[in-house]
Amino acid sequence: MAYKFERLEVWQLALEYVDLVYAIGEQLPRTEEYNWKSQMARAATSIALNIAEGSTSQSDAEQARFRGFALRSLVETVTCQHLVHRRQYLEDSQPLRDAYQASEKLFAKLQSFRASLVGDKDARFREEPTSYECDSATPF
């Protein structure tokens, strides 16, 4: 692999997450083609893009900034999934559960990666530490 980001586990997890989000989007009604499907796909793709872009940054602070963008995009996709569920667009909620569990793992990895770059000085802006182990307790 030629690029630093290609070796990052968090980037590889982000690619897997994109696949899960796209699979959800494929099941949405055609009326949501340019709404939830498009929004989720762009946000999920943004996660991987920001990880890659941040890996070429010159400073830890710059890298942390891009990890923050990736985190924001991740929670955007989770919110879209909640909205898809609320509108009962999917007959089977398993794809939403799978994506949610993957999002928990990705969130934890992104948080850890970002924290390693910025240290404790930004602790007041981070979520309280939570166990983000994948389990069957998802909102879907």
Write the CA distances from 28 to 43, 70, 77, 82, 125, integer angstroms: 16, 24, 14, 13, 34
Write the CA distances from 53 to 25, 94, 95, 117, integer angstroms: 25, 32, 28, 15
pTM, entire model: 0.85
pLDDT digits (tens, 9 = 90+) for 38-59: 999 999 999 999 999 999 877 8
Is the predicted pLDDT of residue 1 greater than 80, yes or no?
no
Nearest CA-CA partner of 128 in 113, 109, 108: 108
Grade residue 121 by pLDDT with cuts at 50, 70 and 90. Answer: low
4-125 placed in CATH 1.20.1440.60? yes
Domain residue limits, the chain? 4-125
